[in-house]
């Protein structure tokens, strides 16, 4: 899988720079004080003041630094060199001392970090890039301090089956590594990714992997909203940065959130 991860590292370097400049990420607003967190994770994670928090797959650190602004001492890790460079740039710009960033493939993290933290956090678009869900869960659990918890808010794997017309066009169950070539980036259509590799993980495999890694599932919630404007037929719900189909006779589970404790 090493070559797959390297392919993804290189294209995430491209994405990091494009996303940092793209209005979808609202970097200028973030620098001025805006939080990048959704209301969902703020409510379900709860008060982080005085807590230590590890953010897996932190991209260029917006959510990581948002948790730091709420009083957490944070560590963000990401596979992309450029993402970590940009995260450190943002950290300096907003004057946060309680944050550090580590460039690492998640599966190699134990070579770079040897401690446990109160909260291990990850969100939105993280699991697609994981080649081994069992090892992912074991690593996440390894960093949870006894009495602490792991939390994820993520796109629902069921929703990934549907296209903009609400018709099934992708499989639900794991098919092994899936290779996509010359695809436009999800927020910057002018950025074409030469090659990316991902893996599908059904809800059952995700929950089972975390339970088998020694974590106790506190809750699994499902939400009928999407964290970004995935299809042209979607509309934003107010000014919440949550999206759903404009016209639909029924609601699909588009997102899920899970908390698991040690």
Query: Which residues are CB-neighbours of 100 under 8 A, at least 6 positions away?
Result: 74, 75, 76
Question: What is the Cα–Cα distance from 193 to 179, expressed in whole angstroms?
Answer: 11
Q: Which residues of the chain have pLDDT under 70?
A: none
Question: What is the Cα–Cα distance from 120 to 214, expressed in whole angstroms?
Answer: 14
> E strand or H helix at 256, and its extent?
strand 255-261
Q: Convert the pLDDT of each residue in 179-199 to its tens digit.
A: 999 999 888 888 999 999 999
Domain layout of the chain by residue ranges: 2-261
Q: How remote is the C-alpha of 53 from its chain's centroid?
A: 14
pLDDT at 165: 87
Question: What is the Cα–Cα distance from 164 to 234, expressed in whole angstroms?
Answer: 8
Task: Give SS3 for 207.
Answer: helix
Return the CATH number of 2-261, one of 3.30.230.10, 3.40.50.150, 3.40.50.300, 3.40.50.720. Answer: 3.40.50.150
Q: Convert the pLDDT of each residue in 17-66 to its tens digit.
A: 999 999 999 999 999 999 999 999 999 999 999 999 999 999 999 999 99
């Amino acid at each position: 899988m090493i070559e797959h991860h390297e392919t993804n590292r290189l294209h995430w370097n491209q994405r990091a720079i494009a996303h940092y400049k793209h209005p979808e990420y609202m970097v200028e607003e973030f620098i001025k004080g805006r939080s990048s967190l959704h209301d969902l994770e703020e409510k379900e994670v709860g008060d982080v003041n005085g807590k230590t928090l590890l953010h897996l797959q932190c991209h260029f650190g917006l959510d990581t630094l948002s948790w730091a602004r709420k009083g957490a001492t944070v560590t963000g890790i990401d596979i992309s060199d450029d993402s970590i460079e940009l995260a450190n740039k943002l950290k300096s710009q907003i004057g946060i001392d309680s944050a550090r960033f580590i460039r690492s493939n998640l599966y190699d993290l134990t070579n770079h970090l040897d401690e446990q933290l109160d909260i291990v956090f990850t969100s939105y678009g993280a699991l697609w890039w994981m080649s081994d869900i069992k090892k992912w869960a074991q690593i996440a659990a390894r960093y949870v301090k006894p009495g602490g918890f792991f939390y994820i808010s993520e796109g629902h794997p069921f929703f990934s089956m549907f296209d903009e017309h609400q018709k099934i066009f992708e499989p639900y169950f794991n098919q092994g590594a899936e290779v996509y070539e010359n695809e436009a980036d999800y927020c910057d259509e002018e950025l074409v990714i030469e090659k990316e590799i991902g893996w599908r993980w059904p809800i059952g495999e995700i929950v089972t992997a975390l339970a088998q890694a020694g974590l106790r599932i506190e809750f699994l919630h499902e939400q009928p909203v999407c964290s970004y404007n995935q299809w042209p037929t979607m509309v934003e719900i107010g000014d919440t940065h949550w999206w759903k189909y404009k016209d639909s006779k029924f609601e699909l589970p588009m997102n899920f959130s899970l908390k698991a404790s040690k």
